[in-house]
Amino acid sequence: MTVRAALRHPAAWWALLSLGLLPLAWLVLQTLQDQLGANPAEALIRATGDWTLRSLCVVLAVSPLRTWLGWPELLRFRRMLGLLVFAYASVHLLCYAWFDMGFDLADTLQDLFKRPFIWLGFSAFVILLALAATSFNRAVRWLGGRRWQMLHRGVYAVAVLAVLHFWWMRAGKQDFAEVLVYAGVLAGLLGWRVWRGLRR
């Protein structure tokens, strides 16, 4: 079976979804077995944030890979991959609200405006929420193809905000090595879209 035939197989969608959820399942297992180290709350917040960024890189890589490899079958996974980004971002926000803020709304709002990197991350989540809420066929028909496409270009803003959120969070420790990796990958993926748009 060729790669393209495998991608067209009905089981491929479920296989990729299961693969995407494996990191979350592993984090749950580590939590239940108390294997997250001395500060499990910080470990969960960081890990879910990392997987949000990784998932974002994957979903933004779909179009370039489809073009370079000539595999249009990859497009059938893009919506599901986008929802995975939203799922990891939601768990990341939940861990912050639970473990850092204790679900105290007043403290959370104060922290939101006191620490800029929290505000950036929350702004990215709000955009992701809008994209997830309009990711279904009925939303495309309701908004119209052109407006739907313009809205979903908001994923580019999410990428910029996510990197800035990560960079600002690491600024206190002057540890930017990992940030630069994500920034480089996302800059390359967004740069490909700019180059593609200019060619058209």
**What is the token pair recorded at 140?**
């495309």
Contact at 8 Å (CB) between 116 and 153?
no
**What is the token pair recorded at 130?**
């809008």
Within 10 angstroms of residue 141's Cβ, the number of other Cβ atoms is: 10
CA distance 94 to 111: 15
pLDDT digits (tens, 9 = 90+) for 163-192: 999 999 887 677 788 889 999 999 999 889
User: Which DSSP string corresponds to 155-186?
Assistant: HHHHHHHHHHHHHHHHHTTT--HHHHHHHHHH
Contact at 8 Å (CB) between 85 and 55?
yes
pLDDT digits (tens, 9 = 90+) for 15-68: 999 999 999 999 999 999 989 888 999 999 999 999 999 999 999 999 999 999
Distance of CA 75 to the CA centre of its chain: 17
- CB neighbour burial string for 182-198, b if at least 16 within 10 angstroms, e if fewer: bbebbeebeebeeeeee
The average pLDDT across 79-107 equals: 94
Contact at 8 Å (CB) between 135 and 82?
yes
Residue type, 40: P
Contact at 8 Å (CB) between 59 and 155?
yes
